[in-house]
Structure 1
C-alpha cells in the first residue's frame, strides 16, 4: 500500500510540474465528422465550404480540416483544439487561420498571449 501512495504523490507532483512549467494539457482527439455521398453526388471531388477538392487525401482545407475525399464519402478532422480553461475575465479566444489554431489573447492588449490550462478537440 505504501508504494501505491508514493505513486499517487509522484503523479500529483508531475501534474503540478506541468502546470508550473506552463505546458498546455490537451484533452481528447480532434473533432471529426463524415458525410456519405448520394450516388453521383461527388463525381468531380468533394465540396467543402463552397470549394471543390479533388478525390484523395486533403492535408488542409481553408477551414483547417484534414479530410479524406472519395465518391462514397467525405471524412474530416479538425487541425485545431479549442481552449476551454483560461482566464475568461482577462482573455478572449481568436481563431488564427494561418496556424489553424485558436490564440488566447488579453482583451485589453491582443498582442499578448494568455496562459491556457487545457484544450479539447
Structure 2
C-alpha cells in the first residue's frame, strides 16, 4: 500500500472517529494532523481553519475550543436541560445565545420547571 493511500485512509479514520465523538459526547478531541507545509505553531480544524498554538475560541456550534500541541479540544458550552417533564414539555435551543428554554407543549408561552442541567 502506498504511503499516500495509507495517509488518506488514516485521515479518513480520524475524521470518522471525530464525527462519532461529536455525536456522542459533550467534549471531543481532534488529533493534530501533519500535512506538508503545516506550521507546527498552529492547529487546523476539520474545516481547514487554522488557530495559533495555545489559543482558545468559540465556534458557531456553541463549542469552546483550544489548540494545543496534541490537537484541538472542544466542549459544548450550552447547558442542556435533562430534569424536566418530557411528556408535558419541550426543550427549545437558541443557537444565537447557546441556551435552552423548556416550555409546555400545550402552551409554549409557559415555562416548565427544570430540576437538572448538564454541561
TM-score range, shorter chain: 0.5 to 0.7
Do the aligned partners of residues 68 and 120 (structure 1) sit closer, same or farther apart at CA in structure 2, a change above 3 Å counting? same
Please list the CA deviations of residues 5-28 of structure 1 after superposition, one character each: whole Å capped at 9, or x if unmatched: xxxxxxxxxxxxxxxxxxxxxxxx
Selected match of 2:35 from 40, 48, 55 = 40
* 1:88 corresponds to which of 86, 90, 94: 86
Mapped contact 1:91–1:105 kept (Cα < 8 A)? yes
How do residues 16-27 of structure 1 correspond to structure 2 at under 5 angstroms?
none
Unpaired stretches in structure 1, ≥5 consecutive residues: 1-29
Partner of 1:99: 97
Counterpart position of 2:115: 117
Deviation sequence 1:87-109 (CA, Å, 0-9, x none): 11210111111221221111122
Choose 1 or 2 for highest CA Rg: 1
Aligned residues: 90
TM-score (norm. length: structure 2): 0.61
| Contact 2:32/2:43 (8 A) holds in 1 | no
Given that 1:38 and 1:72 are in contact with CA atoms closer than 8 Å, whether structure 2 keeps it comes out as no
Relative contact order higher in (CA < 8 Å, ≥ 6 apart): 1
Give the alignment of 1:62-81 within 5 angstroms: 62-70=60-68, 72-81=70-79
Q: Deviations over 1:41-63 (max 9, x none)?
A: 86575335x473533210x2100
User: Structure 2: 5+ residue runs without aligned partners?
Assistant: 1-24
